[in-house]
Structures are given as C-alpha cells and as structure tokens.
Structure 1
Amino acid sequence: MSSSLVTIQDLQKRMAQGVLNTSCSESAVRRMWWAALDTLQSDILMPMNLTRGLWLSSPLPALYEPKLLKKFQGWVWAPKDLFNLANPSVGILPPSQSVSMDIHSDSSNYERLTLLEEDGNDPLLIVITPEIQIALALEGECHERKLLMRSDPETLSDLLTLLDNRLNTENIEQANNLRNALEEMGQLKTNDDLSKVFWPLLSQRLADIAPSLNIQTLPDNIINDDDKSSSKSNEITLLEALTHEIRTPLATIRTLIRSLMRKQDLPKVVANRLKQIDIECTEQIDRFGLIFNAVELERSKPEQTNLALTDLGKMITMLSPVWSNQLERKGLKLILDITSDLPKVLSDSEGLELMLTGLIDRNTRGLQTGGELTLKLRPAGQRLKLQILTQLSTTHTSEAPENVSNEEIGPVLSWNPATGNLQLSQAATQRLLKSLGGRLTNRRDSGITIFFPISELKEFDSVD
C-alpha cells in the first residue's frame, strides 16, 4: 500500500505519459470532453449491448446513458460540499425516461467518495467491461490543455493499481468492492486498437457540432440546388449542435437536483420546488431528445430498423400516469379509450414512447384549463388506429392547438408566431413516425390519427 494518498491528478498524469503536448483553449477542450462522452456512450458502448461493467469518475458523474447506468456499478469522487446536501453514500444518476417519474424507483446507483483539494477539478472517466476498457480525462496547464483517451492494457492496469491504492487509503470497504467487481468480470479482452475507432468517431462528432453560425438567407431565385442542399445541411448541423448543447446542461442540473432531493430534512417548500425543476428538466430533455432524433433521421434517412413486437395498448396504459400528471399541472384531463386484447404491432418501443410523449405535449400546448385530451386505440382492419383528440373547455372556445397555423423554419421545425411555440414540423413528425412503423394523418376536424400495421410475427420470431 502506498505511503501517500494517490490523487486523481496522479491518474491523469499517468494517462498523459507519452502523449504530445497540445495548445488548446479551455472552452475547446471542454467541448472535446462532452463530445468524447457522447462518442464513448452513444457510438461505442451502447451499440455493444453490454450486460455488465464498472465505471469511476471525477469530479461529477460522467456516465449518463440510462441503459448503461442500470447495468454498471459506479464510483464517483465529488466535492464534499455536494455530499453535505444529500445522502452521503448513495446518489441518483439520470434514469431512463420511462414510465415512473418517482426518483426513488431508480435502480442506477453509484458509490460516493470525497474529492480532495489535491485531486483538482479536471474530469476523469474510467469504464471497465469484459469486452472493452477505456479511460478519458482532461489534463494540462492553462495553454496546454488536452483530451486524453487511453485503452492500452498497460495504462489501464496502472490506473487500476493507482485506484486500488487510493481506495485502500481512503475507504478499504470500497477497495474490496472494486476488487470483487473486477474479479467477477473474469478475463478481460484487450482493446488497444480502440483508438483507431474512437478518434475518427470523435472527429466526426466534433465536425457535426461545430458548424459555422454565419448562415444567411438568400432569395430563392439566386440560390441554386447545390446551395440549397448546403444551406439545408448547415441548418441540420446547427440544430443538432443546439439540441446537444441544451440537453447536456439540463441533464447535469437534473442529476444535482435528484441528489438534493435525497436529503431527508428538506423543507417541504424546497422539496416541492426541486421536484418542479426536476420535472421541467425531464420534459425539456425529452422534448429536445425528440428533436435530436428527427435531426438524425433527416441527416441519415435510414430505412426502418430495430422494429420489434410492441404491445401498444399496454405501453399507453403504463405511460398514462406520467402523462396524466403532466396534463394535470396544466389543468387538463387525460382520457384513455383502449380496446382490450389488441394484437401487437411492429415498432421501436423506446423511440415510440418519446414520440407519443412529444405528440401529447404538442397537442395540449395552448389548451385552456378544463380541456381534455383523449387517446383512442382501436383495431382498423389489419392495422391499429391511434387517435389523439383534444376537447376544449366549455368555458373557452379558442381554436384547438393542432389547428393553429405554424410557420416552417427549416426541414425539421415549425414555429407558431402567435404563441412562440417551437415544435417538430408536420413533415418531420411524419418521417419520424414512419421510422417507428406508423403512418400519420392529421385532419382539421379529427385531430391526429396514427395507423400501425398489425404484426404477423410471433414472440420467438426475429426482426431484421
């Protein structure tokens, strides 16, 4: 055991060995850090469908993908002052945006450890799974900042040894927990060639989220087809960057809010305000997540993929408590009218959940207190017909929100100049639903109707 405490900076310095110094500003390297987290989680770890792993980070949680958090065991070094505001041993990470909004139902916990002054505030993330091992960090003096990524076995082995020494000195119980977690993984596959995949993916993501903001609108009669295509590409890239920049701080705020809500002796008024902030953050994360999905679809235009048997009636019934709470805060009522024992459809349940939540939000914006939203699900030949219908309050006769004229402001978004509401355009909504197996119709007098073809597949059949 080391005679002196190993610091987080010691790990970062080990990672920096053999890496050339660079001249990078603080703002640029922070942007690289967030892009690296997205690249690692969205482009590398998530597609692997990993079932177990562990992660360690500082000075705040760096892992945020719900599917990873539920399966991985975590340790986080964070400032002591933060722990004083919450439970000192267990915290909450952003949970899956699914049925329950109750933070206490989340199962993705991590162990909290105290960040010392000597550790510094530069971020660090280490992820260890049987299939892949990787470490990310920022390091360097003011004008020599750099992003570090190491996946070679020698460096990862040294980092784990340093962490073991740190925990032996700081918290022997957690040192044993980490050793046990590593032993349970068995033989680790080496992945020292991961850098050949990581850096090109990161470069692509950085290129996508760093567009030129000098976009000018020219008269149509002097814009040729190539210019129109380039302008559209710039709009898509800018929108992708904006959704990323909005969701990231919201996710961080929600993480800290949920840590605060774990404190047992909060005054009731404070707890209620924190809950309101948590709900608002989640709704906006969902909303911009849906816009991001539409942007990705517009960019890549993929065929329908990853569609699976989906019990649409059960999904709507399970999600209805969340939607009811959301509408009740606006003084609105949700009514379900679902035929029992309906056949299953082919869809992407996770994407469809986000899509339906977005459609409910869209169709209740502008409804006055006392209004109603009805979800009807019926068989219609070889399809299921889902209708989303709004009914105005008897004391208000203003036009229903789905009938208000919106202005298209690009290939993905529309804007209502009267209310300032920003939402997916009709075309983007139709494309997104099509990718989820549905077909949208929107008639002035009948609200929104979505048709889903009934699946002829059995539970044991595979879907390509």
Structure 2
Amino acid sequence: MASLRELRRCLCEGVPPGSSRDDGVRRQWWAALATLQEDFLLPRGSLSGLWLAAPLPALYEPDLLQQLQGWVWTPGPLEALLPPGAPLLPGAAATRQAGDDPASGFRRLPLEADDGNDPVLVLITPHLQVALCLDGAAEARRLVVRFDAEVLSRALTLIHERLECTDQPAAADLRAAVQRLGPLHSDPSLGERFWPRLADRLAAIAPSLTLQPLVEEPRPPQASQAESRAVKTELALLEALTHEVRTPLATIRTLIRSLLRRGDLPAVVRQRLEHIDGECSEQIDRFGLIFLAAELQRRSDPAQAPTDHPLARTDLSQLLAQLEALWQRQLARRDLTLRLTLADGLPAVLSDPARLETMLGGLIDRFSRSLPAGSTVVVSLQPAGARLKLQLSGEGTDLQPLAPSSQATARELVGPVLSWNPTTGSLQLSHQATQQLFERMGGRLTERSGNGLTVFFPVC
C-alpha cells in the first residue's frame, strides 16, 4: 500500500533540499494556502474539482469547501471522535443522503502510522492542478509546490493505489470525480504567477526585524524617515501576528463544526463546542479587522479611498436585522443583552458591503467590552437628513460615563492602530484606526463623552 510519505517523496523528486526551520516553512505553508485560495480559486467564482489533504483540512474558505469534493486523511485521536465515514464538514452527510451533488463536503479517511504528520494537499480543477507539501529534516525543511502534469499524474496514481487497498468505494468515488472533470487544461504560466504572489504575501506577513534604540538625543534629519520605517515594520509585524492567529483558528472552527454534526453529543458538550465556535468566529473577525487596519495604514495614505472594494448600494437596515441573532448570542456570553431599533422605510446607504458586516461586528465588540455585566447594548438606525445615523448606547444600573475619547485614546494607545483597555484587559483597534476604517467604507464615526458611539452613512 502506498503511504502518504511516498506521496511526498514523489512530489519532492527533483526539488533542491531545504534549509529552513519548521516555524519558517509553516508560515510558508499557510501563506501558500492563502495565496492559492484567495488569489487563484475564489476569483474564478463557480468551481468544480477535487482535493485530497492530510493530516487536517488544508482548504478553509467556505465557498471552496462547498464546491469542491474532498478527502482528508486524519489522525487517530480525531478519528476516534467521529463515527466511521462521518464527514468533517457540517451538512455533508445530509447532502449526500439527499442524493445531491457530493461535492458539498469532504470525506474522512484514516491516517496510517507510516504516513507521517507533514501536511500535503493535492488539488485538481479543470483549469488549475497543483500539489503542495512540507518535507525535510528538522533544520532542512522545505515547502514544495508542483504544477507539472507528470508529477501530479504520478501523485494521483499513488493516491488511487492507496485507496484501492484501504477503501475501494473511496477509490471509485475518486475515479468518478476525475472523470467528471473532463479534459484538464494546465496553464504553463501558473507557477510564474504563483511564486511572486506568494513572495508578496510572505513579505507582508513575515517581515525581518531590526531593533532600533529610542533615545532622547538630538536627531539627524534622517530620524523621521527612520521612525517611519520603524512604524511600517511594526505594522508589518502586526499583520504577521494576526495572520498567524486567524488561520489556525479557521481550522479549529471547521473541526468544531464537524463535531457539532453528531447527534449523540451530550447537551453540556454541545453547549461548550458552540461556545468555542462562537469565540473562534469572534476572534477571526476581530483579528481580521486588526490585519486590515494595519495593512491600510502601512501601504497607503489612510485618507485615500480604497480601490479593491468600491462603495456600493447597501441595505443597512436589512443587514442589521440579519445580524441581530448573532450579536445576541455573542453578547449573551458576556451577560449582556441587545435591543435593536430600526426606523421604517429607511433608504439604502453607500458603503462597502464586503467588509461592512465584519466592521459592524467589531464595533459592537469594541463598544460592549466597556460595559458591565447585566447591561443592554442599544442599537438604533434612523434618518438624519442626507444620511442614516447608526447609534450605539448602553443601558443599565451600573453604567458609568466614559471618559472623552481623546483622553482615552492618549491613555490607551499601543502602537499605530491598537489601544489597550487597562480596565477590561482587552486589546482592540484604536479610535483613530476605527475611524479610518469607517471612512473607507463611506461612514463617519463620532465618539464623545458618555456611553455612546454614532456612525453616519450617506444615503444613496
């Protein structure tokens, strides 16, 4: 039986030996997965294809997981948690039982002792075929990415031989999935486009650091330029940290949701898993905003309008109504409640629909962390001339008026985009960074003395 170790050896044939440490190639691995999904797969929209990975799901974008048929070899401890043949994605089993397209989930397969634990991914679509893996000894690690058809053909042959020995129905499913793809078209320039994109992503998320002493002495004219470079380095490091946090959390959330598909979970276990799922989602969104703020601050003038996400017509009242239940659950974990008030017949606003949902969730999180347990977060949306006014306020017997935002910002500012709340111990976007993000989405944030935030959005 062919092992996954043999599969990695096949992928590594003709590749120079590595010289990196494990932490370095792990960053390369996550960056390669992000580049593959965000720069090459998601822009295509509708997709068909298949993927095979070990020892955990390598793909994490929900749209891709729903469109592509997958197989994942998982280790014993995870296998023991799931019944034989159970999917790792919520909804996959129900979809297959209903006779619909089986590409809406992925199938779990057992990882054997000789397979090793280094990650591997083989992805085949009609217009993109690629295989990735990590390989090498402790101080000679390397990331291997192969696009050549001959190597990929041998890799699929090894995988098919393995499935024939261990799971013949899975082997038949793999053959059928390959046949459904029809003729494959390999783009010879794919590697030439992939590696520069990966290099750009690594340059952004994993900068080299130079420590510079800060002394109170007369400075040469170049001092301001040095400080500017230091700030950019700090922002790049912040991007790296947020990336390192978000990506593993996305994998954890995927696995948690797969466990929630089980019908035999005790109530207390289900409750705790749902709590973990909610916390993962909150932190993914929270660190995503920090990443965005750092990226925008580092790469361009914050006052410039965005070019990648143009403003568009957005039904803000409908969006708030859709988010109400989610926010209720999130606030309940901190013993808070939500009251949403929407005026009737509100017009649409001009904003960035792709990022507004996450930004509003971050605003709720930022505002609610300053409220004591038992308080109510009041969210209201009403007309204000040529704008809509979104207002957040707090109600409760233990509420104390907040300090003016300028004083709070000066007291809590940590670096270019973060602030530290010594009362709650939470790290969050600074007031200035939050304002800049809303400006890029067409809004204007105001925060004055007292317990309240207001965002104005222009009406379409």
1:317-355 deviation per Cα after TM superposition (whole angstroms, max 9, x unaligned): 011001011112222221111123322223332311111
Q: Match for residue 276 of structure 1?
A: 275
1:380 aligns with 2:384: yes
Q: CA RMSD in A?
A: 2.5
Q: 2:340 aligns with which of 333, 336, 340?
A: 336
* Deviation of the 1:236 alpha carbon: 0.4
For residues 30-69 of structure 1, the aligned pairs below 5 Å read 30-69=26-65
Q: Cα–Cα, structure 1 residues 247 and 94, in superposed 2: closer, same or farther, change >3 Å?
A: farther
**What is the TM-score normalised by the length of structure 2?**
0.87
* Contact 1:41/1:65 (<8 A) preserved: yes
- TM-score of the aligned structures, taking structure 1 as reference length: 0.87
AA in 2 matched with 1:312: L
Measured in 1, the distance between the counterparts of 2:210 and 2:255 equals 32
Change in 2 beyond 3 A, CA 1:227/1:210 = closer
Match of 1:303 among 305, 321, 333: 305
Q: Is the 8 A contact 1:61 1:93 kept in 2?
A: no
Alignment of 1:384-423 (within 5 A): 384-391=388-395, 393-394=396-397, 396-400=398-402, 405-406=408-409, 407-423=412-428
- Call closer, same or farther: CA 1:380–1:398 in 2, change over 3 Å: closer
* 1:445/1:147 CA distance change after superposition, 3 Å: same
* 8 Å CA contact 1:211, 1:237 repeated in 2: no
Which of 72, 75, 80 is the matching residue for 1:76? 72
For 1:451, give the aligned amino acid.
Answer: F
- Aligned match of 2:228: 229
Partner SS, residue 408 of structure 2:
coil
Question: Per the alignment, in what secondary structure is the counterpart of residue 56 of structure 2?
Answer: coil
Matching residue of 1:436? 441
Determine which of 326, 333, 349 is the counterpart of 1:345.
349
Tell me how far 1:451 sits from its aligned partner.
Answer: 1.9
- Structure 1 stretch 207-216 or stretch 427-436: which is displaced more? 207-216
Of residues 188, 192, 211 in structure 1, which corresponds to 2:188?
192
Supply the distance in 2 between the matched residues of 1:264 and 1:228 (Cα, whole angstroms).
Answer: 57
Displacement of 1:94 after TM fit? Answer: 9.4
Instruction: Number of aligned residue pairs: give it.
Output: 438
Return the alpha-carbon distance in structure 2 between the equivalents of residues 92 and 383 of structure 1.
Answer: 45
2:133 counterpart (130, 134, 137): 137
- Tell me the CA shift for residue 277 of structure 1: 2.2
> How far apart, CA to CA, are the structure 2 residues paired with 1:423 and 1:149?
37
Shift of residue 86 of structure 1?
A: 2.0
CA contact (8 A) 2:402 2:451 kept: no
> Residues 90, 451 of structure 1: CA spacing in aligned structure 2 closer, same or farther, 3 A cutoff?
farther
- Give yes or no for contact 1:294–1:432 (8 Å, CA) kept in 2: yes
| Aligned partners of 1:367 and 1:400 also within 8 Å | no
Read off the aligned partner of 2:362 and give its amino acid letter: G
1:442/1:356 Cα in 2 relative to 1: closer, same or farther (>3 Å)?
same
- CA, structure 1 residues 221+414, in 2 after alignment: closer, same or farther (shift >3 Å)? farther
> 1:462: which partner in 2?
none
> Is this contact kept in 2: 1:91–1:111, CA < 8 A?
yes
Change (3 A) 1:183 1:207: same
More off after superposition, 438-447 vs 8-17: 438-447
SS of aligned partner of 2:175: helix
The amino acid across from 2:423 in the alignment is A
Check conservation: 1:336, 1:374, Cα contact below 8 A.
yes
2:250 paired with 1:251: yes
Contact 1:60 1:76 in 2 (8 A): yes
1:78, distance to aligned residue in structure 2 (A): 0.8
Query: 1:166 pairs with 162, 170, 173, which one?
Result: 162
Take 2:235 and 2:53, find their aligned partners in 1: how far apart are those partners? 33
Task: Give the match's secondary structure for 1:405.
Answer: helix
SS in 2 for 1:91: coil
- CA distance in 1 between partners of 2:415 and 2:90 (Å): 31
CA distance in 2, matches of 1:166, 1:313: 53
Q: Which residue of 2 aligns with 1:459?
A: none
Tell me: CA distance 1:363–1:54, structure 2 relative to 1, closer, same or farther (3 Å): same
Q: Contact 1:384–1:454 (CA<8 Å) still a contact in 2? A: yes
**Once the two structures are superposed, what CA deviation does each residue of 1:366-409 show, in whole Å capped at 9, x if it has no partner?**
31223111111122333222112222x12x14234885823222
Name the stretch that deviates more: 192-201 or 113-122.
Answer: 192-201
The Cα shift of 1:425 comes to 1.2
Paired residues of 1:94 and 1:254 also in contact (CA < 8 A) = no
Change (3 A) 1:351 1:156: same
In 2: Cα distance, 1:274 partner to 1:365 partner: 23
Query: What is the distance in 1 between the residues matched to 2:458 and 2:241?
Result: 35
Please tell me the residue identity of whatever aligns with 2:115.
D
Distance 1:24-1:445 versus aligned 2 partners, 3 A rule: closer
Give, in whole Å, the separation in 2 of the partners of 1:18 and 1:65: 31
Q: What does the per-residue CA deviation read over 1:290-336, in whole Å, with 9 as the maximum and x for residues that have no partner?
A: 11111122223363334333211111101100101111222222111
Supply the AA of the counterpart residue of 1:71. Q
Distance 2:137 2:295 in 1: 36
CA contact (8 A) 2:135 2:144 kept: yes
Secondary structure of 2:26's partner? helix
**Aligned partners of 2:366 and 2:90: how far apart in 1?**
24
Does the Cα contact within 8 Å between 2:18 and 2:142 map onto a contact in 1?
Answer: yes
Q: 1:156 to 1:346 in 2, by over 3 A?
A: farther
- 2:360 counterpart of 1:356: yes
8 Å CA contact 2:401–2:450 kept in 1: the answer is no
Structure 1 spans left out of the alignment, 5+ residues: 96-106, 456-464
Q: Give the whole-Å Cα distance in 1 for the aligned partners of 2:216 and 2:449.
A: 32
Instruction: Give runs of aligned pairs for residues 191-230 of structure 1, distance below 5 A.
Output: 191-208=187-204, 209-212=206-209, 214=211, 216-219=213-216, 222=219, 224-230=223-229
- Is the 8 Å Cα contact of residues 85 and 263 (structure 1) preserved in structure 2? no
Matched residues in 2 for 1:92 and 1:446: separation? 44
Q: CA deviation at 1:250?
A: 2.4
The answer to whether structure 1 residue 451 and structure 2 residue 456 are counterparts is yes
Asked if the contact 1:91–1:109 (Cα under 8 Å) also holds between the matched residues in 2, the reply is: yes
Please tell me whether residue 90 in structure 1 is matched to residue 92 in structure 2.
no
Provide the rounded CA distance (Å) in 1 between the counterparts of 2:171 and 2:404: 57
